Amino acid sequence: MPEYVHNHGPCEQSVTIHRMRSWSVRNARWLEVVYGGFELVLRTINPVFRLIGYKRLDKLFVAVEKIIKVSLFDSQSCGQCILSVTGMSCPMNCPKKIRNGPCGGVHVDGTCEVDPHMPCVWVLAWEGNKRLRVDEYPIQIVQPPVDHRLLGTSAWMHMLQRETQPISSQTTANNEV
């Protein structure tokens, strides 16, 4: 195997990131509540956003969302957030980009098949799911494939726009659950 493939050892920065990911999952229950509350606030003031115009707010939304989600969940900003389904573990950190994990290759100690220096994000997602206050695990919902047009955009913005637009004009029709 060429050296450049697996040379990223557990550097200090990635250890911190992995600790943070585990922390968000351990605290999935209240984080999910707070996160849900935050989305509700956004929805409530949605008419104001609409008045200002989504286009004008786009950059601001992307920036704010990134700061919050990257710092809390090591989010990769896919623009179609499913953190509430994955027990607050961002699935885009999975090297195979699996939206319905975990794969069969997880190591016995729960580390990732592809990058053994990190815990499998879907093992964390299951841990997070078990901490949610729900009857049915949301991880069981079959997720559609990623819409690559949305990468790097704001998932909140899409959520708000969806609420105000008629169903027929939504761009992500085939990407809904």
Partner 1 sequence: MRFDDEPLVSGEHLPIRSDHDSRGRLERVLRAGVFAVTAELAPPDSSYPEEVYNRAAMFDGHVDAINATDGSGANCHMSSVAMCALLTRRGYSMVMQISARDRNRIAIQGDVLGAAALGVCNILCLTGDGVEVGDHPEAKPVFDLDCMSMLNMVRGMRDDGQFLSGRKLTSPPELFLGAAANPFGPPLDYRPHRLAKKVAAGAEFVQTQYCFDLEKFRNYMSAVRDLGVHEKVYILAGVGPLASARSAEWIRTNVPGVHIPDNIIRRLQGADKQNEEGVNICIDMINELKEIEGVHGVHIMAYRQEHRVVEIVERSNVLEGRELWHPGVARDEEPALS
Closer CB to partner 1, 121 or 157, in the complex: 121
**List 20, 117, 137, 162, residue binding partner 1 (CB under 8 A):** 137
Rounded CA gap, 32 and 90, in Å? 13
Is the bond into 102 cis (omega within 30 degrees of 0)? yes
Please tell me whether residue 10 binds ligand SF4 under the rule CB under 6 A.
no
**In Å, how far from its chain's centre is CA 123?**
15
Residue 117 in the binding site for partner 1 (CB under 8 A):
no
Burial class (CB in 10 A: 0-12, 13-18, 19+), 25: buried
What is residue 85's DSSP assignment? T
- The nearest distance, CB 11 to ligand SF4, in angstroms, is 18
Contact status: 2 vs partner 1 (CB under 8 A)? yes
For ligand SF4, the binding residues in 84-103 under the rule CB under 6 A are: 94-96, 98, 101-103
Q: Provide the 3-class DSSP secondary structure of residue 39.
A: helix
**How far out from the chain centre does Cα 176 lie?**
16
- Counting residues that bind partner 1 (by CB under 8 A) gives 37
| Nearest alpha-carbon partner for 31 in 45, 20, 17 | 20
- Name which of 20 and 146 has its Cβ closer to partner 1: 146
Binding site for partner 1 (CB under 8 A): 1-2, 5-6, 95-110, 113-114, 120, 123, 126-127, 137, 139-140, 142-146, 148, 173-174
